[in-house]
Chain A
Amino acid sequence: DIQMTQSPSSLSASVGDRVTISCQASQDISNYVNWYQQKPGEAPKLLIYDATSLETGVPSRFSGGGSGTDFTFTISSLQPEDIATYYCQQFDNLPLTFGGGTKVEIK
């Protein structure tokens, strides 16, 4: 199975800050990475697909980067409504696997 190592597991930042989350795959997965946002009590929501593509309707302050084994997810200016847990997911091989999640809080 492909392991997705996500860091940090949690972070606290101020409104307006730039926030970056990392995800490292245990093998080369090209650009087969998605990023999801999960707010408490809700289902995950797709934000970024194919490592860098913004899902329709998602604010442009969210972005993704990377290829191969190293990927990043960035919120350019943190907003109060961005409080959530974020997950990376690979879809290069079965089983689909997720990172452990990053809980983002407001300082």
Chain B
Amino acid sequence: QVQLVQSGTEVKKPGASVKVSCKASGYTFISYGISWVRQAPGQGLEWMGWISDYNGNTDYAQNLQGRVTMTTDISTSTAYMELRSLRSDDTAVYYCARVGDSYDPKGTLDYWGQGTLVTVSS
């Protein structure tokens, strides 16, 4: 069965960086893409960006350009999301989600990871 398993809770200070991992199993990794979505406490869902598991192409949300980098390691079927220069308003649960097309970021998020809580506090 399809599974996306994310890394654990992180606590960071303002200005630091965080790197969240998302290990996929149960499907052919390079046939899909991965989107990252975050959810601030008590708030809605915000799309952060997408990476093709096939060729590493990326599309990032404009408000995160320059602070976010998404990568994949095909050998371990793992996607990564790094966010730099963290601020208090980056405190959120970060989700990875499988996208049904390795070429098009505009797709359905059909399977989700369990989420990773990132807290940014001094």
Contact = CB atoms under 8 A, between A and B. Distances in A.
B114 A95 contact: no
Nearest to A43: B112
B108 A92 contact: no
Q: Which size class do B's interface residues fall under? A: 20 to 34
A46 B105 contact: no
A61 interface: no
A87 B46 CA distance: 11
B95 interface: yes
Interface in A42-76: 43-46, 49-50, 55
A91 B95 contact: no
B106 interface: yes
Given A44-B109, A45-B112, 15 more contacts: A34-B109, A43-B95, A43-B115, A44-B97, A46-B108, A55-B110, A87-B45, A89-B45, A91-B106, A95-B61, A95-B62, A97-B47, A98-B46, A98-B47, A100-B44
9 contacts: A43-B112, A44-B95, A44-B97, A44-B112, A46-B108, A50-B108, A89-B109, A91-B107, A95-B61
